[in-house]
Structure 1
Amino acid sequence: MMLFVDVGNTAMKWRYRDGDGIHQGGGRHEREWSRVVDIMLRSAAGMPSEVWVASVAGPEADAAIAYCLKRATRCEPRFYYSCQSDFGVESCYPEPRKLGVDRWVAMIEGFQRYGASIIIDCGSALTIDAVDSRGTFLGGYIVPGLGMLRGALLRDTSDVHIEPGMAQLGLGRSTGECVHNGLLRMSVAFVTEVVLELRQVLDDTCKVLVTGGDAPELIGAFTFEFLHAADLVLDGLERVAARQQ
């Protein structure tokens, strides 16, 4: 059995593969690594014999995660990081390792499935990346995600208290609605503008793939055609690992 782990800026997701079967593991928003690893392994049908990790948490956190995983599974976890080129995708970064590996494996998976593609990751940061039909990573954008925007607004303004709720593109009729709707509209407008612009550069039929924890909040407001690929990062990590089999 193989364990695949995606360590993001705020969330950690994982899943298992046993032969041809995929067992979705779960996810946590916390940074107590030993506790998360214990929870992760409790959801498994057995002990994994191989562990693969894609992490953007940084070297210190990666070392702590590796220690906890090795202690619990008795196997050395294998970390995959961004590089100059892999699986037909060529990085445009002067220092390729500095590209977040979650973005990198998502681009690999998108290109391997569909060729030219636009990857929108709606996580703690909202990222948009473009890969052309030759596999060249053209570049991307990084802006705060919905949660980060809400947090900044609440932290830096007085007397603004909002309750969780569903956002829509229309005018808000309370402070909470104004915040939720305004941030949604701003994010959707940004994504839509970029997608329309990129479709002038790429093939206008290229796939737009949307992933990330905040995707369900955004995709209902998108007016362009897209595919919701909830586990694109884990799919890409699995593809990388399969090459080693």
Structure 2
Amino acid sequence: MILLLDSGNSRLKWALADSDGRLREHGVHEGGSLPAVLERDDIKAVRLASVREADYTARLERAVRARGWPVTRLRTPVGQEGLVNAYPEPDRLGVDRWLAMLAAWRRERAGFVVVDVGTAVTIDLVADDGHHLGGAILAGEALSLEALVGRASGIRPRPGDGGPGFPAADTGAAVAAGVRLAVCGGVERALRLARQADVAGPLYLTGGGAEPVCEALSDERPRLVPDLVLEGMLEEAPRCFG
């Protein structure tokens, strides 16, 4: 088995891939400790992508090497398999964004939009010829909520406050509704601009917060692929899609 490790801003996602390029088991690890999957004895090699702080990433890589497993640290290239990075300094583009685009490109070989909904929400556009056109980054729901509570003394959501339904009838529910509206509204606006720029391909949604955004988009039929980044970590296009 090949162990795929995607170390994001707040969570570590992992999957095991077999020799046929199929994603088998997968899971999510939160916090600063090392994931229990490193205790397995059926792993032959590791592929690691990380946008987390350098100390944690180094500790994770040392733990992998201590098991005697060869590890490949994935970084953002200028281009790969016909997909071309828009950034003048390619490594300034987060490797998770690149891997999500690579997975979608392998599926489509034509234009698309990828939205990854996590701590941050990233939006990336790719043209039919494989050129990344750039994108946008906005705060995710949890980050927006944290900023509101930290800076506005009168906003203190309480246990039992309602969910993100709109319109909301109490402060906690109104905050939840607002941060959901902000994320979904930003995604919808970006999609309108993408369509005006003739990026007419499908919308891919991925990340831990993708499902509620998927449900809120009324004018699109997004393809919800929670493991798109992990899929992009495979050495080649998988033979089947999960």
Q: Same fold (TM over 0.5)?
A: yes
Structure with the bigger RCO (C-alpha within 8 Å, sep 6+) is: 2
Partner of 1:201: 197
Change (3 A) 1:165 1:127: farther
| 1:227 aligns to 2:223 (yes or no) | yes
- For structure 1, the 5+ residue unaligned runs are none
Instruction: Supply the AA of the counterpart residue of 1:86.
Output: Q
- Paired with 1:166 and 1:59, the residues of 2 have a C-alpha distance of 36
Confirm whether residue 167 of structure 1 aligns to residue 164 of structure 2.
yes
* C-alpha RMSD of the superposition: 1.8
Q: Distance in 1 between matches of 2:64 and 2:203?
A: 34
Larger helix percent = 1
The counterpart of 1:146, out of the listed 129, 141, 145, is 141
Residue of 118, 131, 135 corresponding to 1:136 = 131
- How far did 1:241 drift? 9.1
Aligned AA (2:98) = W
Q: 1:87 is aligned with what amino acid?
A: E
Q: Which stretches in structure 2 are left out of the alignment for 5+ residues?
A: none
Cα displacement (A) at 1:135? 0.6
Matches of 1:68 and 1:176, distance apart in 2: 42
The structural deviation recorded for 1:202 is 2.6
Please, what TM-score do these two structures have when normalized by structure 1?
0.89
Equivalent residue in structure 2 for 1:55, among 50, 55, 70:
50
* Preserved contact between residue 4 and residue 16 of structure 2 (Cα < 8 Å): yes
What is the SS of the residue equivalent to 1:105?
helix
1:111 aligns with 2:105: yes
Distance 1:186 1:81, change over 3 A: same
Aligned partners of 2:126 and 2:199 also within 8 Å: no
Which position in structure 2 is the counterpart of 1:4? 4
- Contact 1:89–1:135 (Cα < 8 Å) also in 2: yes
Shift of 1:176: 1.1
Secondary structure of the 1:196 match is helix
- Report how far residue 100 of structure 1 moved: 0.3
The whole-number CA distance in structure 1 between the counterparts of 2:198 and 2:9 is 29
Corresponding residue pairs, total: 233
Aligned to 1:69: 64
Residue of structure 2 in register with 1:120 after alignment: 115
Q: What letter is aligned with 2:17?
A: R
Cα distance in 2 between the residues matched to 1:240 and 1:60:
30
Q: Which amino acid aligns with 2:182?
A: M
Kept after mapping to 2: 8 A contact 1:2/1:16: yes
SS at match of 2:216: coil
